[in-house]
Structure formats: C-alpha cells, structure tokens
Structure 1
Amino acid sequence: MARQQERARRTRAAIVEAAAVEFGVRGYAAASVNAILEGSHATKGAMYFHFESKEELGRAVLAAALEKYHQMTARWMARADLDPFQILHGLIDNVARMFLSDPIVRAEFRLIIEPEFYADVQSGGARVWGGSARELLQRAEREGLVREGVDVEKFTRVLAASLAGQRYLSDLTAQQVDLRARFEDSLEVVLAGMAVDSWLEKWRREGWPVELDAAVPG
C-alpha cells in the first residue's frame, strides 16, 4: 500500500510539473493535455484519476506555487543576522530567481492573469511575499530605519506594483532581461525615498551583503 501511495504521489507531482511547463509556455487556454501527458509520462487515465479537469489541474499548480512561496518567505523571515531591508533584498532576489528557474512559479504568474483564475490573485504568491515585504518594512519602521512621516503602506504598494511591472515587461520585451537586476532596481528606488540617511550612507558604502548572492533559491 505504501509503495502504491508513493507511486501515486510521484505521478501526481509529475503531472503538476508538466502542466506548469505547458501553462507557462502557452497559457491556460492554449495548453495541450496531450503535451502535459507526454511531459509527465502519465496516462490519460492517471491524469483524470488525480484531476477531474484542466481547471483543477491549474489550481493544483497554483497551490504548489503557493507552498513554495510560503517555504521561501519563512526562511527569509527567520533570519536574525540581517536588518529588515537586507532581508527584504534577499527575499525579493529569491523571488526573481524562482521566476527564472522554477516552472511552477512561472506558471503561477501566467495563470493568475487568465480569466479563469482572476479570483486567485488575492490569495496567490504575490500576497504571500508581498505580506512579508510589508512586515519587513513595518519592522524597519520600528527599528528607526524609516524616515519620519513615511507612509509604509504606500511604499509597500508602490514596491509591489513596480516588481509586478518589471516581471510583465520581462515577458513583453524581445531582449533578454536581467530580472534580478530589475527587481533590485525597484527596491533601491523605493528605499532611496524611505530609508533614513544613516542607513543609506552605510548601504552606499558597503552595498548588499555578499552572501546574499549565493542565497538558497528555494
């Protein structure tokens, strides 16, 4: 029984991964079930055993991406050796790496702009790491790293919108885009307007922690 359960788990995971690749490349409407089957090496019977419809399969991809975001943000939020802005930089860089390397994360970003999944935007991955970004900026405010009078909520919204825009532009442009650099640009512009001078002077002198360049991509 345990062996059968493990085989079923692996089959399901393979189908979700193959669906993510297909959704990420073609979008939801144009995604081919046959291509998903070919990519997962599963039978049609096996796929419909685990998923009643293509929409259910799409929601499984969204759920898998959400779990990855939860795991990634939990690792960064547990860091006690960095200040809130440094943690935010590492978290955002990690998100960019996931977009570049993880087909499930790429598919999630593609699916939430499809009509069938509009409602999932409010509970998607951006809400997870966006909530962590807000918490880090609030933590920075409590630690005296934010300029007096700055509206942290407003800056959080501007940062989230800028990151989303950078991600969409990377898909639209014909040129190769360094998404990690673009995400870093967005963060640095926001911090230039909200961080206190003492923090900015130290950052300009020292830059971001070198170890973040080798951060676990999650």
Structure 2
Amino acid sequence: MAQDGGTRQQRAVATRAAIVEAAAGEFDVRGYLGTSVDGVAERAGLTKGAVYFHFASKADLAGAVIARQHEVSRAYGEAAAARGSTPLEVMMWMSQGLATQMIHEVVVSAGIRLSTEAATADVARQDPYTDWMQVTAELMRQGIAAGEVDPAWDPELIGRVVIPAYTGVQTVSDVLAGRDDLYERLRELWTVLLAAIVTDRVRPEIPRLVALIAPLPGD
C-alpha cells in the first residue's frame, strides 16, 4: 500500500509539473488575459477538471509559473557562482545565464512576462526581482572588498538599477528582435555600467568581462 501511495504521489507531482509547463507555454504566448484554463488543459493533454484539482484559479497557475521561474533562475545563479573567479566575473556569468534562460526556458520568459503585466497585480510576483537585487548588491559588496568596484558606490543602489535595467533591455530586445540580439544588448548595458562603477585597476578588463555574456557552445 505504501508503494501505491508513493506512486500516486509521484504521478500527482508529475501532473502538477506538466500543468505548470503547459501554463508557462500559454502565458508566454498569450499573456495573462489571453490565457484560459481550457487552453492550459488542452496544451497539457488533461481535462479542465484535472487542472482545477491542482490549481484553484488562473491566478494560482500564474503564481506557480512565477515560483517555478524563480527556482530555475536560482539554479542558473548557482552555476554562475561556480564559473566566476571574481565577483564581477560571477555578475557577468549571472547576466549570461539570465539571457540564456529568457531564450531557452519558457517558464522563465513566461514568468517575466507575467511579472510585468498590469493584469497580474494581485499575483505574488515580487520575489524574483527582490532576490536578484539582493544577489546583485551582495556581489557589488564583494566587488568593493576585492578592489573591483569603486567604494563610492552604494551596492544596494547598483542592485536597484541593474535588475530593472536588465528587465528593460530584454523587453525591448524581445519587441525589436525576438531576443535574437539579447546577448549583444546586455554586453552594451554592462559596458556602460562597468565603466561607471569599476576601479581604475579593473577598467582595462571591461571588454573581457562583458565578452562572457555570450551563448555557450550548444546553446
């Protein structure tokens, strides 16, 4: 009996994950207002009742997509931390990962779209932004300690500027080029930002740092 219960639980977890993936696909293409529970059910190959068994409303579905986006982004952030040997290198790898997510992870692009739509004002959507602002601020504090970032800058201020700037860059890249130029646009953004915040010792390193924001082999 315990095994049967475990199997049922595994099926329930798998079904919920499939619904979140289907919802992400619908939200990414249609936005919050254009998405329906019927459409999510059809994309997932389930009945509408099965969707409602796991999620009480479309707002719950949107919240689940944003939460999953946050999980995926955290995993990319951990990978960025492992790749970089200095705080600014980690920051560049994090930006590279954010671009890769927007291009290849539907749940992330859907989550970002949901978090910027006025129709989702009642959906919990602030955590990915506040978390990445805190991560950026901490990297800037580490950068100051390492002599990479000018100590005249407030790390919290940089965090509050960088993440909204990234959101704007990816949005405009999506509108104008379907995100085909996203890596290039982010390199431009960081070329400007680094020129403002780095110490004189690091200034010659700016081209090398921004060059990290590029597709990895196989992307």
Q: TM-score, normalised by structure 1?
A: 0.86
Correspondent of 1:144 among 144, 147, 152: 147
The one-letter code of the counterpart of 1:68 is V
How do 1:165-176 and structure 2 match up within 5 A?
Answer: 165-173=168-176
2:41–2:48: 8 Å Cα contact kept in structure 1? yes
- Paired with 1:95 and 1:174, the residues of 2 have a C-alpha distance of 17
Indicate the residue corresponding to 2:204 in structure 1.
201
CA shift in 2, pair 1:114/1:203, >3 Å: closer
1:110 aligns with 2:113: yes
CA shift in 2, pair 1:210/1:92, >3 Å: closer
How big is the alpha-carbon RMSD for the aligned residues of Structure 1 and Structure 2? 2.5
Correspondent of 1:22 among 12, 22, 26: 26
1:73–1:129: 8 Å Cα contact kept in structure 2? no
CA shift in 2, pair 1:30/1:106, >3 Å: same
Indicate the residue corresponding to 2:81 in structure 1.
77
1:214 aligns with 2:216: yes
Cα offset for 1:118? 2.9
Correspondent of 1:164 among 141, 150, 167: 167
Q: How much identity, in percent, do the aligned residues show?
A: 31
Indicate the residue corresponding to 1:94 in structure 2.
97
- Paired with 1:85 and 1:107, the residues of 2 have a C-alpha distance of 28
CA shift in 2, pair 1:213/1:152, >3 Å: same
1:50 aligns with 2:54: yes
- Paired with 2:108 and 2:64, the residues of 1 have a C-alpha distance of 12
Cα offset for 1:155? 2.9
Indicate the residue corresponding to 1:179 in structure 2.
182
CA shift in 2, pair 1:138/1:23, >3 Å: same
By relative contact order (CA 8 Å, sep 6+), the higher-ranking structure is 1
Q: TM-score, normalised by structure 2?
A: 0.86
CA shift in 2, pair 1:98/1:216, >3 Å: farther
- Paired with 2:27 and 2:178, the residues of 1 have a C-alpha distance of 22
CA shift in 2, pair 1:191/1:210, >3 Å: closer
Cα offset for 1:158? 2.6
The one-letter code of the counterpart of 2:58 is K
